[in-house]
């Protein structure tokens, strides 16, 4: 009910939209917004139904009923978008409602009325009425599937592409604009460590191992990405480990207290110099999440984590451009990340901080400019745009059931 207080433990899914009252945590919003990394939430922040609480307990007040939640609005938008018909389709439907009864009426008139006025055998007039029906109703053309369409569908299936029907195969050649989601479509959807800089020469050989040992005790995706850099090397023993919600972790390695945390933690500890600030800003502008290893003396090393681009993405975008098709990225991630990823693969335009309804509006805006639009995505957050696009392409292996069902190519 509206105004109800709900407590969510780590690992639980948030059931209704609301506003946080007590607690801090990292929220995985990828199913709704498409953001590749968890978002820190605290008192006053909004949380969405369908997202997952990862690190800390939260208490929030419900601000929307089940039927009015963000997830419910996405489902409604999908239904409305699927029901939206192209102008030509509406014209054909309206025309057929008039044309078909008229043809049947004429055929009946030829079979029943004409013999009364013109004479002749009833059988001959019935035959002529059937000829009229066959000529006036080209059903054979409608129900017969051209060999080229069957061949195209079979060839696509052999390459792992499933197409819902020949009409979508034919429609693909008309596209002149393709919108793409970022997470799981252009990128792998899994953060990895991309940068490592030693800030204190004393830790040239040990900083990565210490950070990996601390990160290995946390289930946060950023910490896990750093921990994976240890490879097969055994992690160090960590004592007095503590998760600092919204900031990072801390613990003792070989009796020394270390912190592994974000920009906010460095500022709280009063260890952020102008030189360090410049490095953090440089990496954050590239769409990367920056983490620092610190001890009592100051910053020891810097790590950057980001969602990496698929090897095939640049080639795919280049092939679209070679066909004269323009591209735009529509993502719930921040604009810096969107611009950085778009630049890496050559996408013409990037738009960030988009909710599912915003993606739908972007598709409709392209339609309003006269474009024939395709949409590529993999998540629930892409479903309304996939349904509204002339052709929807879903990443079937990594996509949600909603996205796959909504798309026309998968």
Q: What is the set of active-site residues?
A: 181
CB atoms within 10 A of CB 160: 9
Of residues 243, 270, 278, the one with CA closest to residue 259: 243
How many angstroms separate the CA atoms of 167 and 146, rounded? Answer: 11
Q: What strand order describes the sheet that includes 25-28?
A: 39-41, 25-28, 52-53
Q: Which residues pair with 60 in a beta bridge?
A: 6, 20
Q: Which string of DSSP letters, residue by residue, matches 124-163?
A: HHHHHHHHHHHHH--HHHHHPPPHHHHHHHHHHHHTT--B
How many angstroms separate the CA atoms of 20 and 17, rounded? Answer: 10
Q: Which residues pair with 53 in a beta bridge?
A: 27
Token output for 382: 């892409």
- Largest distance between two CA atoms of the chain: 112
How many angstroms separate the CA atoms of 337 and 333, rounded? Answer: 7
How many angstroms separate the CA atoms of 342 and 186, rounded? Answer: 9
How many angstroms separate the CA atoms of 359 and 330, rounded? Answer: 6
Q: What is the DSSP letter of 120?
A: S
- 132 to each of 44, 139, 195, 318, how far by Cα in Å? 71, 13, 74, 52
**Which secondary structure element, helix H or strand E, spans residue 106, and what is its range?**
helix 87-108
**Angle 274-279-284 (CA atoms, 0-180°, nearest 5)?**
120
**Which secondary structure element, helix H or strand E, spans residue 358, and what is its range?**
helix 356-368
Contact 375, 385 (CB under 8 A): yes
How many angstroms separate the CA atoms of 391 and 393, rounded? Answer: 7
Of residues 275, 274, 247, the one with CA closest to residue 259: 247
């Amino acid at each position: 009910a509206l105004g109800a207080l709900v407590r969510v433990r780590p690992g639980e899914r948030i059931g209704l939209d609301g506003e946080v009252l007590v607690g801090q945590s990292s929220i995985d919003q990828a199913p709704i917004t498409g953001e590749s990394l968890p978002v820190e939430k605290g008192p006053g922040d909004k949380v969405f139904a369908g997202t997952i609480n990862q690190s800390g307990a939260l208490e929030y007040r419900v601000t929307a009923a089940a039927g009015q939640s963000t997830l419910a609005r996405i489902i409604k938008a999908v239904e409305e978008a699927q029901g939206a018909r192209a102008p030509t389709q509406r014209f054909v439907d309206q025309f057929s409602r008039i044309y078909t009864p008229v043809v049947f009426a004429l055929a009946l008139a030829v079979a029943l009325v004409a013999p009364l006025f013109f004479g002749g055998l009833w059988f001959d007039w019935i035959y002529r009425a059937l000829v009229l029906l066959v000529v006036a109703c080209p059903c054979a053309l409608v129900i017969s599937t051209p060999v080229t369409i069957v061949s195209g569908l079979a060839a696509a299936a052999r390459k792992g592409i499933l197409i819902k029907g020949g009409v979508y195969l034919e429609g693909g050649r008309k596209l002149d604009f393709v919108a793409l989601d970022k997470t799981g479509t252009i990128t792998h959807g899994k953060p990895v460590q991309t940068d490592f800089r030693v800030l204190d020469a004393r830790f040239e050989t040990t900083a990565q191992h210490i950070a990996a040992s601390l990160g290995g005790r946390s289930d946060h995706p950023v910490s896990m990405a750093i921990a994976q850099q240890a490879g097969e090397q055994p992690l160090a023993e960590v004592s007095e480990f503590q998760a600092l919600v919204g900031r990072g972790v801390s613990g003792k390695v070989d009796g020394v207290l270390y912190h592994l945390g974000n920009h906010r933690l460095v500022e709280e500890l009063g260890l952020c110099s102008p030189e360090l600030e410049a490095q953090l800003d440089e990496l954050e502008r590239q769409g990367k999440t920056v983490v620092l290893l610190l001890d009592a003396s100051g910053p020891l090393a810097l790590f950057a984590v980001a969602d990496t681009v698929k090897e095939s993405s640049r080639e795919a975008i280049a092939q679209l451009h070679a066909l004269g098709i323009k591209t735009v990225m529509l993502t719930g991630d921040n604009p810096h990340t969107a611009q950085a990823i778009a630049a890496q693969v050559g996408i013409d335009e990037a738009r960030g901080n988009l909710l599912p309804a915003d993606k739908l509006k972007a598709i409709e805006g392209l339609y309003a400019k006269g474009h024939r639009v395709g949409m590529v995505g993999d998540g629930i957050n892409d479903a309304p745009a996939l349904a509204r696009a002339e052709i929807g392409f879903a990443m079937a292996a990594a996509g949600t059931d909603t996205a796959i069902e909504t798309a026309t190519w998968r």
